[in-house]
Amino acid sequence: MAKRILVVEDNDLNRKLFCDVLKANGYEVVPVADGQNVLATAQRFAPDLVIMDIQLPNVSGIDLIAQLKADNDLNGVPVLAVTAYAGKGDEERIRDAGAADYLAKPVSIGPFMTAVRTLLPA
């Protein structure tokens, strides 16, 4: 059975790239463009991994990670944070919110898939 990945990314090109690469590697993927739909979608989809953009319109990815971690059904799901916003202290704040790993954009496919495989053992 394919591992399930929720991809939260507001940029259309990035979202399509992440989804295409993950599908090509055998994962079942559900994309979410609007951060306000993340919690409800995650509860329905029951992902094995969440890939979370940090800079989203209307809501912070850091807040969404905290919401996922506060949900009894989702708090064990690892989160891979992906962001172009990589200032001093950001990685620490992202990890403190509950992210299992962190990648700065632009993301290369090799390190991206390595991070996914690390968080989703076969």
Q: Output the tens digit of pLDDT for each of the chain's 122 residues.
A: 899 999 999 999 999 999 999 999 999 999 999 999 999 999 999 999 999 999 998 899 999 999 999 999 999 999 999 988 667 788 899 999 999 999 998 899 999 999 999 999 77
The pTM for the full model equals 0.95
Picking from 37, 90, 92, 93, the residue whose alpha carbon sits closest to that of residue 68 is 37
Picking from 58, 56, 54, the residue whose alpha carbon sits closest to that of residue 83 is 54
Distance CA 91, CA 101 (A): 9
What residue has token string 């809501």?
A: 59
SS3 24: helix
Question: Which domains does the chain possess?
Answer: 4-119 (3.40.50.2300)
